[in-house]
Amino acid sequence: MNNENASCPEKHFFGPSSSRITVKGFTYPIEVGMRSVALTRSYECKGESFTSMPLYDTSGPFGDPDFSHDVRKGLEPVRDGWGFDCGAVESAGAALSMTGRKPRVAKAGEAVTQMHFARKGVITPEMEYVAIRENQALESWIEKRGGKPVTPEMVRDEVARGRAIIPANINHPEIEPMIIGRNFRVKINANIGNSALGSSIDEEVEKAVWACRWGADTVMDLSTGKNIHQTREWILRNSPVPIGTVPLYQALEKVGGKAEELSWEVYRDTLVEQAEQGVDYFTIHSGILAATLPYAEARQTGIVSRGGSIMARWCRAHKQENFLFTRFDDICDILRSYDVAVSLGDALRPGSIGDANDVAQFSELKTLGELTLRAWARDVQVMIEGPGHVPLHMIRENMEMQLKHCHEAPFYTLGPLVTDVAAGYDHINSAIGGTLIASLGCSMLCYVTPKEHLGLPDRDDVREGVIVHRVAAHAADIAKSSPTAWLRDELMSKARYAFAWEDQFSLALDPLKTRQIHAQNMAATGDTAATA
Amino acid sequence: MNNENASCPEKHFFGPSSSRITVKGFTYPIEVGMRSVALTRSYECKGESFTSMPLYDTSGPFGDPDFSHDVRKGLEPVRDGWGFDCGAVESAGAALSMTGRKPRVAKAGEAVTQMHFARKGVITPEMEYVAIRENQALESWIEKRGGKPVTPEMVRDEVARGRAIIPANINHPEIEPMIIGRNFRVKINANIGNSALGSSIDEEVEKAVWACRWGADTVMDLSTGKNIHQTREWILRNSPVPIGTVPLYQALEKVGGKAEELSWEVYRDTLVEQAEQGVDYFTIHSGILAATLPYAEARQTGIVSRGGSIMARWCRAHKQENFLFTRFDDICDILRSYDVAVSLGDALRPGSIGDANDVAQFSELKTLGELTLRAWARDVQVMIEGPGHVPLHMIRENMEMQLKHCHEAPFYTLGPLVTDVAAGYDHINSAIGGTLIASLGCSMLCYVTPKEHLGLPDRDDVREGVIVHRVAAHAADIAKSSPTAWLRDELMSKARYAFAWEDQFSLALDPLKTRQIHAQNMAATGDTAATA
């Protein structure tokens, strides 16, 4: 399986019909990467002929078959060449180990966030990039279908309102910018490194690139263990997608795993350390308050969020309010200096359907809404994390409450899982709830793998988790009437009706598996299946 | 993998904590089979202690570890011992090959359907059976949760109204009766035999039993090829669940595969042949009319139903109306004589999301509604087949239109698939749409396997397809507030919170896979996974 080596870009990962194309910016010298699939014939859709289709692509330069890469050097810092003046920035701290570059930081009192520029009316290269990217070079088709192509100005406006975020740390110049918001394509996140077993740079980078290859729009690095700093550096320097982390996990390691020994100082230093490296968003559990802990104790399954459990223990040990809450303005002052977005963690998310939409969950959601306003007051980009375990008929209320209490900040959910008894199939369970909540306005789905609740995902699980959530995200885009999503389905259906197998492989969300199953079937029967 | 041999009942298929229990009837000498799982500790739910949980079970006598079985003899004709007088029945036709028993048939002009008895106010053994079965021996729990246990009288009333069906041919005495209707547990169907490759009785029976083992409530036998009659006989005599077929497929084989050579006579004889064997429901494509064919021609993907394509070709060749429509009353006269339920096929179901909810689909749906009334006029039990490919936001309209036009007859859908580009993952695609439509009132989901659109399912695909649709059906029951479904989730969550792994395996929808993944993980890490 040569073509399954994710960071071996000289291979045609998705087959020879797939190639990388770039679209140039109007205002900035950007080159927006996409994947184009050549079709074997011409398909007529609403009077337009298609012999190829450009697809949104998350694999970055790895998607270019001619790309030559050295994981020890990392990707090109493409954003540095876009000539945008970030304002009052200086270099500070120790040079980064892989590149030797000194981290950048805003001068005291200054902000360098996308929200800051958006509110000043400035369109950044990142805004132009995501506008072009979202349209998939299909502007005329979008208009023909009665849609409106995304414009840089529309992106600016959404970011200024806080209804979308562009996670793009000024110290992560390697990324292809992307946007998270409900008026854009639904995104998915893949978690990696929840195992302490990986050890080499090749292994760690391969994990991150593997997830992007299959369609992860962002990657959360949940690595633990001794080499946590170095591992993150490897991943950041080689990642074409934004990287998120939970800084609390590293802070906890610094105090020997004892939650009660956590302190603001240790946590603050961890934030700075990771911000300097270039992490694009932090999950921060500021919403769990001492006053709401009794609500959680009355539950079927208490607190299932790891970050939530840590802070609950800290609060109880110190008989004090959560310092991630009391110090939230200080946290935001750090984030605004690097443009790290905050993903407000749902420490009290339900861990069983019996706990869904309860007072613990919704009281935290209201707190997250207050924190959103505090972050926005400092021009910090915000998204809100969501459940968890929620029965299908209670999902809409979750979305409505989130929009209402969190002032339309983007929602980023894990699942929701719609039953508790699907162990071994929780990726599917998650895709069921995820499709519905995304169709109702959730902006990004955190993937769940078949190992959820049971063990650590391997390579196959990551692929399965990513693709299944791509199915969910795409189905939600279809439900939201996205013209680009509909075009892909229309071309696929026309190829299917014409028995044009190569085109079906090219347009499928998993071209490799589709081709493989078909080949096995042809070998066994020489024919295709029909259903009643 | 000893315990994966489905028709080897001496093995403990789901492990030693799982056993078969039976609950006796009050009125009839019935023994309703269930599966009970013993738990390793006591769990407190709303003041009630649970050290075990009875589960709905579809594996029939195969679920009994002490059951000794000979596939050549078939299952016991248990229904024959229930002492119910079917009325005016006689034996007719040639003796069945396996049992030597002569088929039964109602005397001319008589009806023997569950609907016939229900309308006369008679509670049959089958009605009592399904009432007990649906409650899972949890009547007191159901009441505690504010629900109402199912009663035989309630079953009778639902069947009389046509809002539920009990597919139970008088010539299929081997089954454990089950009910399909939206006020009952959501059911799933598995298709088997869409391959001509199977040849021995052991293989064919194993396929059917394998599907039941994993949770298929009914099985559709879509076998083709030379041994079609004998294969069906093997399956029927060994199946504890109702069997459905598409008689048109066999009729077509009788005329050498040439649609235009089909005739009423050939079709009628096929119906009688299969009804005498004991098939419990027939998919019949009576709703596709010559007048609606032009609608289909204007579509992206025309007619994708096999039965629909056959009848369209016949109509065009003969320039006549579909004989399955013109002869529908004659068809019903046959069905009522054996109590074969009719599953009205959606020959014009959309084959792509672009064709969803179009005039072709909905005009056929209206015809199906008219046919429903005609079948009911003859006391024939009816369900309605549904799409197909439908985007998530258009699913509700499908369900509402079905209820409205088809007078609340049960809806039985394939998917719906919510996107066209998920080849290789269409079982998941189907589960997404299936969960939503079942939560809105669809009564039974036809499974889709990972091979959909690509090839023929193997053993693993059948298991995957069944479990994934069990997830969907169960999640829909949760969304419909089923107290028995909620109890299972509550016990599972409590076991999870207590790290009671054995109980989690017992309560999971796939105990084997759950146990296997956990064991692999323990071997690799000695620990369990957490998410952010």
Nearest-5° angle of CA B453, CA B207, CA B98?
Answer: 130
Q: Is B436 in Cβ contact with A431 (below 8 Å)?
A: no
Out of A62-66, B70-74, B143-147, B415-419, which region has the weakest mean confidence (pLDDT)?
A: A62-66
Out of A29-43, A112-126, B57-71, which region has the weakest mean confidence (pLDDT)?
A: B57-71
Q: What percent of chain A has pLDDT over 70?
A: 95
pLDDT of residue B95: 86
**Average confidence (pLDDT) over A133-143:** 97
- Which residues does chain A have within 8 Å of residue B428's beta carbon, measured at their own beta carbons? 428, 431, 468, 471
Strands B18-24 and B31-45: antiparallel
Query: Residue A174 and residue A241: Cα distance in Å, rounded?
Result: 8
Please, which residues have CB within 8 angstroms of residue A317's CB and are 6 or more apart in sequence?
Answer: A259, A260
pLDDT digits (tens, 9 = 90+) for A113-137: 999 999 999 999 999 999 999 999 9
**Average confidence (pLDDT) over A3-29:** 79
Q: Is B391 in Cβ contact with A475 (below 8 Å)?
A: yes
A428: confidence class by pLDDT, cuts 50, 70, 90:
very high
pLDDT of residue A36: 96
Say if A523 is an interface residue toward chain B (CB within 8 Å).
no
pLDDT of residue B472: 98
pLDDT digits (tens, 9 = 90+) for B247-302: 999 999 999 999 999 999 999 999 999 999 999 999 999 999 999 999 999 899 99
Q: Provide the mean pLDDT of chain B.
A: 93
Q: Which residues pair with B243 in a beta bridge?
A: B219
Q: Is B455 in Cβ contact with A521 (below 8 Å)?
A: yes
Which B positions 283-312 lie with beta carbon below 8 A of chain A? 283, 300-302, 305-307
User: Between residues B4 and B506, which one has the greater pLDDT?
Assistant: B506
Is the pLDDT at A1 greater than 60, yes or no?
no
Q: Is B435 in Cβ contact with A431 (below 8 Å)?
A: no
pLDDT of residue A528: 44
3-class DSSP string for B323-352: HHHHCHHHHHHHHHHHCCEEEECCCCCCCC
Which B positions 47-76 lie with beta carbon below 8 A of chain A? none
**By the 8 A CB rule, do B98 and B74 touch?**
yes
Is the pLDDT at B455 greater than 90, yes or no?
no
User: Between residues B329 and A457, which one has the greater pLDDT?
Assistant: B329
- Which residues does chain B have within 8 Å of residue A479's beta carbon, measured at their own beta carbons? 391-393, 418
Q: Which residues pair with A24 in a beta bridge?
A: A31
Q: Provide the mean pLDDT of chain A.
A: 93
Is the pLDDT at A273 greater than 80, yes or no?
yes
Say if B517 is an interface residue toward chain A (CB within 8 Å).
yes
- Give Cα separations from B62 to A69, B232, B234, B511 (angstroms): 57, 19, 16, 17
A421: confidence class by pLDDT, cuts 50, 70, 90:
very high
Q: What percent of chain B has pLDDT over 90?
A: 83
pLDDT of residue A3: 40
Q: Is A504 in Cβ contact with B423 (below 8 Å)?
A: yes
Is the pLDDT at B1 greater than 50, yes or no?
no
Out of A20-24, A48-52, A223-227, which region has the weakest mean confidence (pLDDT)?
A: A223-227
If DSSP codes are grouped into helix, strand and coil, which group holds residue A286? coil
- Which residues does chain B have within 8 Å of residue A419's beta carbon, measured at their own beta carbons? 471, 474-475, 478, 485, 489
Is the pLDDT at B365 greater than 90, yes or no?
yes
**Average confidence (pLDDT) over B351-360:** 96
Candidates B429, B468, B529; nearest CB to A455 = B529
Structure tokens at B362: 């909905």
End-to-end CA distance of chain A: 35
A195: confidence class by pLDDT, cuts 50, 70, 90:
low
Q: Is A246 in Cβ contact with B454 (below 8 Å)?
A: no
- Which residues does chain A have within 8 Å of residue B495's beta carbon, measured at their own beta carbons? none
Say if A148 is an interface residue toward chain B (CB within 8 Å).
no
Best to test chain A binding among B311, B454, B481, B487 (most A CBs inside 10 Å): B454
- DSSP annotation of A108 reads T
Q: Is A529 in Cβ contact with B194 (below 8 Å)?
A: yes
Out of A261-275, B222-236, B478-492, which region has the weakest mean confidence (pLDDT)?
A: B222-236
Q: Is B529 in Cβ contact with A454 (below 8 Å)?
A: yes
Please, which residues have CB within 8 angstroms of residue A390's CB and are 6 or more apart in sequence?
Answer: A350, A353, A356, A357, A398, A415, A416, A417, A418, A433
Is the pLDDT at A2 greater than 70, yes or no?
no
Q: Highest mean pLDDT range out of A514-528, B75-89, B485-499?
A: B485-499
**By the 8 A CB rule, do A171 and A104 touch?**
yes
3-state helix, strand, coil in chain B (%, to 5): 45, 15, 40
Tell me which residue has tokens 């309703």: B32
Say if A493 is an interface residue toward chain B (CB within 8 Å).
yes
pLDDT digits (tens, 9 = 90+) for A359-412: 999 999 999 999 999 999 999 999 999 999 999 999 999 999 999 999 999 999
Query: Residue A68 and residue A77: Cα distance in Å, rounded?
Result: 15
- Which residues does chain A have within 8 Å of residue B474's beta carbon, measured at their own beta carbons? 419, 421-422
Q: Is A423 in Cβ contact with B508 (below 8 Å)?
A: yes
